[in-house]
């Protein structure tokens, strides 16, 4: 079928956007480099506003049974907790749910709405003119194709090919600090070990399938570049240094190092090419703000772009996407920069 909009990236942002467009009758194709859905989950929560959006779309019943509602969360690891129950909302909580689950639900919904999802299709370049967009794609067999659409949206992450092809700048700061996360199938069964880890500033979260996640900042390792792999030995050594015990961690499912590089796109739109999610903003992964901001980018962009494609948009409507969402992106990046600074100052004071 011919395509009105090509969405590059089948993460939560791209899938949410595809669903929004398809609801409005926009012919949508999603191009995804990965051949299989993402198994590992960096983000673990849907914030109250995102839960509200799922409720508005009649999808909340698909999410709630798979997650756990949590009325509050930390800010920068400080002891004073955020209280979501104080919000003027029917959903005054964050929903603790693995990112892989969120993607699976949204992908199923996209299929129901007739979205074409092309996995194993790597975008090589994007060109535009006054009539539309051409997307150069490497198909699973190694051959290339040129896909045509009226608009293209880059939801393809911090290294976005779409953003680069559009010539949109991505100013910001490089990483100065890194943290580590690990998902483990085996941990110390004694409750005291995990309690001691939490008291030492380690985030300990139970995941599906009996897996436990640990997230920490090790004062002696926070300058290690994010590109350096994490070993089980390093993880155990850091936990012991921070908490006095390695918490019996074994059988790692996923180990990852992450940094606080922070960047915001100079614009969320260049003609017929737009950006959403991590393609438009990256920052320290503080409580899943990137995933949630991306979902809300998609919700804002979806109806506007559908109106333009459908021919009923008033002048300047699509420009309003950048005007409304880029300030939110700036607010989130500033928020995470503050959290990173506070966490680092607390860490230095604690282990001085």
Answer for the pair 190, 180: CB distance below 8 angstroms, yes or no.
no
Average pLDDT over residues 152-171: 97
Convert 240-263 to b/e letters by CB count within 10 Å (16 or more is b): ebbbebbbebeebeebbbbbbbbb
Q: Average pLDDT, whole number, for the chain?
A: 94
pLDDT of residue 343: 86
CA distance 325 to 323: 6
CA distance 336 to 263: 11
Q: pLDDT tens across 261-310, in order?
A: 999 999 999 999 999 999 999 999 887 899 999 999 999 999 999 999 99
pLDDT of residue 114: 96
CA distance 213 to 209: 12
Q: Is the pLDDT of residue 260 over 80?
A: yes
Give, in order, the Cα–Cα distances in Å from 332 to each of 249, 268, 293: 33, 15, 8
CA distance 339 to 58: 34
Question: Token pair for residue 302?
Answer: 């979806």
pLDDT band with cut points at 50, 70 and 90 for residue 75: confident
pLDDT band with cut points at 50, 70 and 90 for residue 2: confident
pLDDT of residue 352: 65
CA distance 7 to 278: 14
Q: Is the pLDDT of residue 348 over 90?
A: no
CA distance 194 to 232: 18
Q: Is the pLDDT of residue 27 over 80?
A: yes
Q: pLDDT tens across 227-240, in order?
A: 999 999 999 999 99
Q: Is the pLDDT of residue 42 over 90?
A: no
**Residues whose CB is less than 8 angstroms from the CB of residue 244 and which lie 6 or more positions away in sequence, other chains included:** 196, 200
- What are the φ/ψ torsions at residue 330 (nearest 5 degrees)? -65, -40
CA distance 268 to 6: 16
Q: pLDDT tens across 95-150, in order?
A: 999 999 999 999 999 999 999 999 999 999 999 998 999 999 999 988 999 999 99
Give, in order, the Cα–Cα distances in Å from 177 to each of 58, 172, 299, 328, 331: 40, 15, 32, 24, 20
pLDDT band with cut points at 50, 70 and 90 for residue 50: very high
- Domains of the chain as residue ranges with CATH: 5-172+262-344 (3.50.50.60), 178-258 (3.30.70.2450)
Share of the chain above pLDDT 70, in %: 99
Question: Token pair for residue 91?
Answer: 């959903």
H-helix segments, 24-154: 48-56, 60-63, 99-112
pLDDT of residue 312: 95
CA distance 309 to 306: 5
pLDDT of residue 196: 87
């Amino acid at each position: 079928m011919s395509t009105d909009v090509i969405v590059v990236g089948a993460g939560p942002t791209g899938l949410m956007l595809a669903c929004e467009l398809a609801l409005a009758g926009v012919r949508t194709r999603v191009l995804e480099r990965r051949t299989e859905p993402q198994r590992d989950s960096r983000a673990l929560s849907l914030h109250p506003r995102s839960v509200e959006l799922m409720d508005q779309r009649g999808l909340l019943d698909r999410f709630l049974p798979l997650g756990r509602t949590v009325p509050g969360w930390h800010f920068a690891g400080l002891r004073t907790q955020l209280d979501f129950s104080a919000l003027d909302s029917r959903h005054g909580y964050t929903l603790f749910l693995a990112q892989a689950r969120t993607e699976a639900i949204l992908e199923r919904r996209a299929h129901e709405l007739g979205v074409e999802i092309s996995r194993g299709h790597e975008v090589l370049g994007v060109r535009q003119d006054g009539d539309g967009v051409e997307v150069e794609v490497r198909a699973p067999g190694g051959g290339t194709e040129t896909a045509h659409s009226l608009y293209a949206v880059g939801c393809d992450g911090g290294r976005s090919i779409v953003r680069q092809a559009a010539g949109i700048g991505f100013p910001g700061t490089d990483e100065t600090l890194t943290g580590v996360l690990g998902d483990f199938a085996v941990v110390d069964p004694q409750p005291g070990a995990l309690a001691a880890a939490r008291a030492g500033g380690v985030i300990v979260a139970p995941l599906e399938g009996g897996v436990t996640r640990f997230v920490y900042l090790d004062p002696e390792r926070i300058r290690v570049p994010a590109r350096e792999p994490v070993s089980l030995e390093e993880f155990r050594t850091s936990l012991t240094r921070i908490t006095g015990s390695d918490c019996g961690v074994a059988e790692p499912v996923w180990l990852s190092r992450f940094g606080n590089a922070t960047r915001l796109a100079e614009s969320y739109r260049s003609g017929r090419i737009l950006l959403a999610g991590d393609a438009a903003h990256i920052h320290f992964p503080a409580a899943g703000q990137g995933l949630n901001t991306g979902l809300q980018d998609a919700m804002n962009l979806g109806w506007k772009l559908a109106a333009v494609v459908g021919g009923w948009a008033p002048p300047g409507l699509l420009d309003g996407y950048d005007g409304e969402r880029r300030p939110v992106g700036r607010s989130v990046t500033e928020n995470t920069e503050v959290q990173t600074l506070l966490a680092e100052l607390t860490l230095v004071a604690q282990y001085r």
